[in-house]
């Protein structure tokens, strides 16, 4: 396996800049996920690494070798798509043997590699079957197997689980992650599904409009989003955003939320960060649903909210709350079941709030 490095990659299609000057580093044996909404340039980046698109600018290195001018076949990477593209008239064995035969691998070597990979993927019994007799999950494993027998320097996967039903997707997520660790395969995985990215990636590269928004571990991206886009894209339900301004009346740091709908005293350390780096008074307060709590009794620390709706999800409830014109979602235990219209006291865990500059959209805290 090998590391993959992209330096200042730019790719344009007519007047669309699909990838706009991105640089990234995927380490040997690492599982890196490109995460972002449809059209943000993930696939184009992956295809450029595979050699299926020619960059307009920038360099791509695989195993420290500049591959810009190498055709796809000479880059020694394996591409796994969301469409399995198995040959329908060939058995699973022949489908897996195909890429090896194409490079004239000796027959005994082909057999030994297919046997080894089939064992790892638990598809030995499927080898004599044709693809029409396989389930979606089995087809996906065969497609992976066909990539694995080549022993490539890196796996490039473009939404490979998209066509599976929700249950199988969840199973395959875990299987794929385990497999990647077992074989130590450098993997770049493209998805728009933040759950896949969070659950599988060692590293997540969040993209939007052809630009990298943040690179970090799942925990870094979730707990310390670099900007409003990342904060809103990663996490379910999405982070709550409340418009606010900062006040330091009487020497006390306070956020004035909405149209003075409520005030939230914040630690001086956060106040100092706002004073030091906010470009103007307009801020966005970000709070995740799990950091909002419903309290039985009001206190100077709580804010009154009205229950708009309760969404029971079995293991937890999402409670939509209204404070004047502000709507927010709180995540609670399933036993918390307030009535629609009920007034409740909510408390924000200030250790976990986020402050963004409304003007630059960058995180201040």
Q: Which of residues 38 and 64 has its CB atom nearest to ligand ATP in the complex?
A: 38
Tell me the two tokens of residue 340. 């629609």
Q: Give the Cα separation of 51 and 127 in Å (integer).
A: 30
**Which range binds ligand ATP by CB under 6 A, 11-19, 243-251, 292-300, 341-349?**
11-19
**Which range binds ligand ATP by CB under 6 A, 39-47, 128-136, 234-242, 258-266?**
39-47
Q: Which helix (H) or strand (E) holds 190?
A: strand 187-191
Angle subtended at Cα 28 by Cα 24 and Cα 32, rounded to the nearest 5 degrees: 50
Q: Which of residues 29 and 192 has its CB atom nearest to ligand ATP in the complex?
A: 192
Q: Which helix (H) or strand (E) holds 102?
A: helix 92-102
Q: Which of residues 207 and 287 has its CB atom nearest to ligand ATP in the complex?
A: 207
Q: Is 58 in the site for ligand ATP (CB under 6 A)?
A: no
SS3 228: helix
Q: Is 160 in the site for ligand ATP (CB under 6 A)?
A: no
Q: Is 38 in the site for ligand ATP (CB under 6 A)?
A: yes
* Pairing status of strand 77-80 against strand 154-158: parallel
Q: With beta carbons less than 8 A apart as the criterion, state whether 122 and 116 touch.
A: no
Q: Is 41 in the site for ligand ATP (CB under 6 A)?
A: yes
Residue 52: half-sphere exposure toward Cβ, Cα within 13 Å = 10
Tell me the two tokens of residue 219. 């925990």
Q: Give the Cα separation of 54 and 227 in Å (integer).
A: 31
Q: Which of residues 41 and 216 has its CB atom nearest to ligand ATP in the complex?
A: 41
**Which range binds ligand ATP by CB under 6 A, 33-41, 81-89, 139-147, 252-260?**
33-41
Tell me the two tokens of residue 158. 């473009």
Residue 50 phi/psi, 5-degree rounding, is -75, -20
CB of 39 to ligand ATP, least distance (A): 4
Tell me the two tokens of residue 306. 């009205």
Q: Which helix (H) or strand (E) holds 116?
A: helix 107-121
Which of 205, 364, 151 has the alpha carbon at shortest distance from 275?
A: 364
What binding mask, one character per residue, do residues 304-343 give for ligand ATP by CB under 6 A, x or -? ----------------------------------------
Residue 236 phi/psi, 5-degree rounding, is -140, 125
Torsion (CA) 303, 309, 314, 316 in degrees, nearest 10: -10
Q: Is 269 in the site for ligand ATP (CB under 6 A)?
A: no
Q: Which of residues 157 and 287 has its CB atom nearest to ligand ATP in the complex?
A: 157
Q: Which of residues 52 and 179 has its CB atom nearest to ligand ATP in the complex?
A: 52
For the segment 168-207, give every residue that binds ligand ATP (CB under 6 A): 192
Q: Which residue is nearest to ligand ATP (CB)?
A: 43
Which of 137, 131, 133, 145 has the alpha carbon at shortest distance from 91?
A: 131
Q: Is 18 in the site for ligand ATP (CB under 6 A)?
A: yes
Biggest distance spanned by C-alpha atoms of the chain:
82
Residue 116 phi/psi, 5-degree rounding, is -65, -50
Q: Which of residues 134 and 188 has its CB atom nearest to ligand ATP in the complex?
A: 188
Selected binder of ligand ATP within 10, 21, 27, 39 (CB under 6 A):
39
Q: Which of residues 159 and 320 has its CB atom nearest to ligand ATP in the complex?
A: 159
Which of 87, 24, 29 has the alpha carbon at shortest distance from 61?
A: 24
Q: Which of residues 51 and 145 has its CB atom nearest to ligand ATP in the complex?
A: 51
**Which range binds ligand ATP by CB under 6 A, 10-18, 100-108, 160-168, 318-326?**
10-18
Q: Is 44 in the site for ligand ATP (CB under 6 A)?
A: yes
Selected binder of ligand ATP within 9, 40, 49, 363 (CB under 6 A):
40
Q: Which of residues 13 and 87 has its CB atom nearest to ligand ATP in the complex?
A: 13
Q: Is 43 in the site for ligand ATP (CB under 6 A)?
A: yes
Residues of the shown chain interacting with ligand ATP in the complex, contacts defined by CB under 6 A: 13, 16, 18, 36, 38-44, 192
């Amino acid at each position: 396996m090998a590391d993959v490095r992209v330096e200042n990659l730019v790719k344009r299609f007519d007047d669309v800049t699909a990838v706009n000057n991105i640089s990234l580093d995927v380490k040997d044996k690492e599982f890196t996920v490109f995460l972002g909404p449809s059209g943000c340039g993930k696939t184009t980046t992956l295809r450029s690494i595979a050699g299926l698109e020619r960059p307009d600018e920038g360099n791509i290195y695989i195993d420290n070798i500049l591959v810009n001018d190498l055709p796809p076949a000479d880059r020694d990477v394996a591409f796994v798509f969301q469409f399995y593209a198995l040959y329908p008239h060939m058995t699973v064995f022949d489908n897996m043997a195909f890429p090896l035969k194409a490079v004239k691998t000796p027959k005994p070597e082909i057999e030994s590699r297919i046997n080894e990979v089939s064992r790892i993927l638990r598809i030995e019994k499927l080898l004599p079957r044709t693809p029409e007799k396989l389930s979606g999950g089995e087809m996906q494993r065969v497609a992976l197997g066909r990539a694995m027998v080549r022993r490539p320097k890196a796996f490039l996967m473009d939404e490979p689980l998209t066509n599976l039903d929700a249950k199988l997707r969840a199973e395959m997520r875990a299987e794929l992650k385990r497999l990647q660790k077992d074989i130590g395969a450098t993997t770049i995985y493209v998805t728009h599904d933040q759950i896949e990215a969070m659950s599988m990636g060692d590293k997540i590269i969040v993209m939007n409009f052809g630009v990298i928004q943040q690179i970090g571990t799942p925990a870094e991206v979730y707990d310390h989003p670099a900007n409003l886009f990342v904060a809103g894209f990663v996490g379910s339900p999405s982070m709550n955003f409340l418009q606010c301004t900062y006040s330091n009346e009487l020497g006390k740091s306070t956020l004035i939320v909405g149209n003075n709908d409520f005030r939230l005293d914040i630690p001086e350390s956060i106040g100092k960060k706002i004073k030091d780096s906010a470009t103007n008074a307009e801020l966005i307060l970000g709070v995740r649903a799990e950091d909002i709590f419903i309290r039985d009794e009001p206190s100077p620390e709580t804010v009154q909210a009205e229950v708009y709706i309760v969404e029971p999800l079995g293991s937890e409830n999402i409670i939509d709350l209204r404070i004047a014109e502000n709507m927010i979602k709180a995540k609670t235990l399933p036993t918390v079941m307030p009535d629609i219209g009920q007034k409740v006291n909510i408390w924000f865990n200030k250790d976990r709030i986020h402050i963004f500059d409304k003007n630059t959209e960058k995180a201040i805290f």
